[in-house]
Every structure is written in C-alpha cells, then in structure tokens.
Amino acid sequence: MSRYDVIVIGGGPAGLAAAASARGHGAKDVLVIERAERLGGILNQCIHNGFGLITYGEELTGPEYAHRAELAAREAGVETLLDTMVLSVAKDRTVTCVGPEGLLALSAGAVVLAMGCRERPAGALAIPGFRPAGVYTAGCAQRLVNMDGLLPGREVVILGSGDIGLIMARRMTLEGAHVACVAELMPYSGGLKRNIVQCLDDFDIPLLLSHTVTRIEGRRRVEAVWLSEVGTGGRPVPGTEVRYPCDTLLLSVGLLPENELSREAGVRLSAVTRGPEVSQALETSIPGVFACGNVLHVHDLVDYVTQEAEVAGAAAADFAMAGGQRRGGHIVPVMPAGSVRYVVPQRLDLDALPEKVTFRFRVGAPIDSATLAVEASERTLLRRRRPIMVPGQMEQVTIRREDLLTVAGGITIRAEEEGR
Ligand SMILES: Cc1cc2nc3c(=O)[nH]c(=O)nc-3n(C[C@H](O)[C@H](O)[C@H](O)COP(=O)(O)OP(=O)(O)OC[C@H]3O[C@@H](n4cnc5c(N)ncnc54)[C@H](O)[C@@H]3O)c2cc1C
C-alpha cells in the first residue's frame, strides 16, 4: 500500500489550496485525488468573471482562478491522481479509490476532505405534475451551456434566487433564450446583491419574491409552469396562481455538502451546515481528518474557500509530520445566537490556538441595522455594526489568540437588530 503524508480528496479550489499549503508546511508527499479528468472543480464551468478579487486583487473567470490554483499546487510539488473516485476513508486514514489502474488502497498521515457540494434535485421539491423533459438544475444547465455548447431551452422560468440561479438567468439571456422570471420562495433573495444587480436588474428580468412553482404542465416536455404567491408558513396562497408558458424550468434551490464519504467514515456532521463539525484547525471528529471548502459549508466566494483550505492543509501537514500526535485538549464550544444560524468552526481547542482564528457564519433571515458581537461569559470580545446582514452572504470575523485564551466557557457569535 502506497503511503502519503497528506491525501486530499477533491481537486477543486479547496483541495488544490489545501494541498499546496500542506506542502508549504512541511508535508513531503501530498496527493490530490480527483474523480474528474481535470482539476479545478466547479470553477471549470463558471466562465463568468468575479472570482479572485480578494486573493489576487483581480477579477478572474472561474477557469482562470482554477488554473492559478492548479499552477500553485504543481509548483509546490503536489502529486495528482485524476479520473479517480474515492470510495471510502477509514478511521485509520486508509483511502480506497478506483481509477484507470483499478482499485487502490492508499495510506495517509492525514486526510483533507474537499469534495465540494451538489445541488438539491427536482425530486426534493415534490412539485405536482408529470416529469417532463426540460427540468434541469441550474448547475446542470450551466454545464450544458458553458462546457458542452448546448442550449437547454428557449423560454425559461427559474425557481430559486441563489447565486447559480441568478448567474444562469443572465447566461441563458446572453445565449438568446428568454427568461420570463426568477421565482423565490422566501421574501428575500438567497444570492449576493451584486448578482441580483448584474444578472437580473441589468437584463430586466423580474425577481418574484415569496413565489413558488405549484404545477408543471406538459407530458413529454415542459409546456408551462404555474407560479403562486406564498403566505405564512411557506404555503401557496389560493387564487394567486399564474401560468407562465415555457419549455424549460431551471432549479436553483440549494446546495448540499457532498458528504457521503464523510458520513460513512463516521465523521460527525452538523445538522445545520450538513458538513462536518470542526475545530479551529478544521479537524473533524476523526483525528487526522480535516475538511474545507463547500464540503464543510457552502461558500459564496471562492477567495474564502482558498483561505479556509490553507488552514486545513497546514493543520493536516502538522498532524502528519507529528506522527499523528494530537496536541492540546481543552475543548470549548462556539455557539450561534440571535439571528446567527451557524458558525464554523463549532469548537475551539484552547491548548492549540494559532495566532488568530477566523469564524465564518450566516444569519437565518435578513436583519437591518445589525449589531454583531462575539461574547465570552461576561466579556464582549468584539462588537460591530452592520447596515444589513442577509443569509445569502457569508460573514466572517477574526479574533486574536490572546483574546481567546481565557474563554473557558466557550464563545457565542450573536447578531441582532440594533436596540433589541
Ligand atoms: C454557479 C456558481 C457560481 C459561482 N460564482 C462565484 C463567483 O462569481 N465568485 C466567487 O468567488 N465564487 C463563486 N462561486 C463559488 C465558488 O466557485 C465555490 O465556492 C468553490 O468553487 C468551491 O470549491 P470546492 O473546492 O470546495 O468545491 P468544488 O469546486 O465543487 O470541487 C470539489 C471537487 O471534488 C471532487 N470530488 C467530489 N467527490 C469526490 C470523490 N469521492 N473522489 C474524488 N473527487 C471527488 C469533484 O469532482 C470536484 O472537482 C460560484 C459557485 C457556483 C456553483
């Protein structure tokens, strides 16, 4: 069985940055295993610009960002195994995969999970009607248009206003299709403000908030979808149904971390993020198994994926080079409060704190004039005002080691409307 210091599963921006960082922190043999024929992950199909403003101070397309991440990993001396699917990760960090050379069992000093996320499919929505052709997830349509040169339809309705839905509204329009509207179940969009402006407003595409699809018409191919307003409890309001003739329905109704491997390995998963629960080193509940990127929690900006992955890669290298010896042990919880829905990491190891720790989180609903606070028992470690906080935008705060050393009862990250 071949042995590596660090094995990274997934060759998207998270996996590539984690692997380069592991090499930079002293791991000698670092391997990235990617099931696709090329590295870069989801970025290969995101041909729009808007990537890399924080990392490179430039506006890159997805493939350009992926190319830079790949170059950095190759220059760092990372090995890659493409066209190879990881089937399982054992608690002793044996990684079993299958590729052109058949079944392989590899042993690792540390493992980094970086398998990205997948879209919620149509089946998860239980929309009444037949299952005609013409219903795609937005990411699937993006791949057809941007990589295969195929236009999935000409008259389009989009359900869900997450970033992929917004980006595909613009993309389909630029390719000559007509996008009748983007319907969103919630009373607010799930996407970034800049995408609402650049992808909908600039192209006069209506955004129908508090609306959902209540019927799909058509037996062989979609002929129309019916949209209804939704009221309290997310229920359609009777009598508000409107018919939109179309041949295509794109679904952008949520992303889920790709966590089958993690679950089978016995990694403890968060009920909120659906990704692993981790410490500040991004170590999961299994010693020596780390996680980063969209498999940990869904990100909106790839720059933060890269930053997070660098932490996971460095920690994986430390673990492997220390021969699997765990440092520290004084664990305290990190808890969300007020409007904050989740925080990553979920726990701190006070005996192994680095110089600073970045906490990433989202609120569960939009709040105006927000006060954001990081609290420890009676102390407030940080307090900031935010004009607005929305679920579609991941937030982050960084706290210095000296402020965290004495938080014996853990810390709370709280966001509330000012004055509450
Ligand atoms: C449509 C869309 C638009 C976006 N727009 C922007 C934007 O404008 N600006 C921005 O900054 N960010 C944007 N993002 C976000 C950013 O691109 C992602 O957050 C980032 O690419 C996630 O990186 P990742 O490495 O975690 O996941 P991925 O890129 O999904 O990579 C995961 C990799 O793991 C591999 N894998 C999974 N399971 C296995 C297995 N069992 N064995 C081997 N390999 C496996 C997959 O094949 C994949 O290559 C966008 C994302 C999407 C989807």
Residues 11-44: tens digit of each pLDDT: 999 999 999 999 999 999 999 999 999 999 999 9
Q: In which band, very low, low, confident or very high, does the pLDDT at 233 lie, cut at 50, 70 and 90?
A: confident
Q: How far is ligand 1, taken at its centre, from the CA of residue 302, in Å?
A: 8
| pLDDT on residue 328 | 62
| pLDDT on residue 329 | 82
Q: Which of 323-337, 381-395, 406-420 has the highest mean pLDDT?
A: 381-395
Angle, helix 13-24 to helix 62-75, in steps of 10 degrees? 20
Is residue 86 in contact with ligand 1, taking CB distance under 6 Å? yes
Q: What is the pTM of this model?
A: 0.95
- What residue type is assigned to position 105 of the chain? A
Q: How far is ligand 1, taken at its centre, from the CA of residue 255, in Å?
A: 11
CATH 1.10.10, applies to 328-420: no
| pLDDT on residue 126 | 74
Same fold, 1-118+255-327 and 121-253: yes
Q: In which band, very low, low, confident or very high, does the pLDDT at 66 lie, cut at 50, 70 and 90?
A: very high
Lowest-confidence region among 151-160, 195-204, 281-290, 374-383: 374-383
With a cut of 70, say whether residue 420 has pLDDT above it: no
| pLDDT on residue 193 | 87
Is residue 142 in contact with ligand 1, taking CB distance under 6 Å? yes
| pLDDT on residue 378 | 77
Q: In which band, very low, low, confident or very high, does the pLDDT at 51 lie, cut at 50, 70 and 90?
A: very high
| pLDDT on residue 127 | 79
Q: Which residues contact 93 (CB under 8 A, 6 or more apart)?
A: 7, 107, 108, 109, 110, 111, 288, 289
CA–CA dist 122, 390 (Å, integer): 25
Q: Using omega within 30 degrees of 0 as the cis cutoff, is the peptide bond preceding 345 cis?
A: yes
CATH class of 121-253: alpha beta
Q: How far is ligand 1, taken at its centre, from the CA of residue 10, in Å?
A: 9
CA–CA dist 166, 190 (Å, integer): 10
Of 223, 252, 227, 228, nearest to 154 by C-alpha is: 223
Q: What percent of the chain has pLDDT over 70?
A: 99
CA–CA dist 387, 368 (Å, integer): 6
Q: In which band, very low, low, confident or very high, does the pLDDT at 321 lie, cut at 50, 70 and 90?
A: very high
With a cut of 90, say whether residue 394 has pLDDT above it: yes
Sign of the C-alpha dihedral, residues 304, 191, 175, 203?
Answer: negative
Q: How far is ligand 1, taken at its centre, from the CA of residue 41, in Å?
A: 5
With a cut of 80, say whether residue 45 has pLDDT above it: yes
Tokens at residue 116, please?
């990205």
With a cut of 90, say whether residue 325 has pLDDT above it: no
Is residue 32 in contact with ligand 1, taking CB distance under 6 Å? no
Tokens at residue 342, please?
């989740």
| pLDDT on residue 327 | 61
Of 12, 23, 16, nearest to 4 by C-alpha is: 23
Lowest-confidence region among 63-72, 76-85, 224-233, 277-286: 224-233
Is residue 95 in contact with ligand 1, taking CB distance under 6 Å? no
Q: What is the mean pLDDT of residues 352-358?
A: 95
SS3 138: helix
> What is the CATH superfamily name and number for domain 1-118+255-327?
FAD/NAD(P)-binding domain (3.50.50.60)
Q: What is the mean pLDDT of residues 110-119?
A: 97
Provide the mean pLDDT of the chain. Answer: 94
Each domain of the chain, given as residue ranges in start order, spans 1-118+255-327, 121-253, 328-420
